[in-house]
Amino acid sequence: MYPVLGILLIAVMLSSCTSVKVASDYDKGADFATYKTFAFYKPGIDKAEINDIDKRRILRAIESELLAKGFTKSETPDLLVSMFTKSREQVNVYNNNGFGPYGYGWGWSPYYYGNYNTVTTSTEGVLYIDLIDANKKELVWQGVGTGYLSQNNTKKEERIQEFVTSIFELYPPGSEKK
């Protein structure tokens, strides 16, 4: 019974690591139907504390999502797009009392080693995407995605795309999946 419970717990933890939690906030007085064009807000993007490769990946993903929503990139935009990131290292210590590397619970086993601790680390990242009214220079929408980041370089681009796509599911306000 205990091994089944352990496998179930690991499956839940792994599935929760793959999802991106999203939220958004917006100016209720803004008319989002009037926004048709966009440009990136370089001063804001330059402040993002991530490497340039990942920054370009995020910007390409944002551009792709906005174009898919019918926006046009412009030198005289309706919206300015900015973004910033935060991250924190998570350290998890699991104390597997009685579940040694080869043991199966309490009792005697020739392979029982007593307490068996497992330490894992992961990085939780937060991506903020800001949409700023270009004429008023006011923030009109902010989307936030929180999730675990991939350390596997071959999966980074997919994970960034997943963050950005999940965030833009909330734009325009009122369009979120029910």
Domains of the chain: 28-89+128-168 (3.30.160.670)
pTM above 0.85, yes or no: no
For the stretch 51-63, pLDDT in tens is 999 999 999 999 9
Measure the CA–CA gap between 143 and 132, rounded to whole angstroms. Answer: 12
pLDDT of 105 higher than 90: no
Predicted local confidence at residue 3, as pLDDT: 46
| Most confidently modeled range among 44-48, 148-152, 162-166 | 162-166
Q: In this predicted structure, what is the pLDDT of residue 5? A: 38
Average pLDDT over residues 127-146: 98
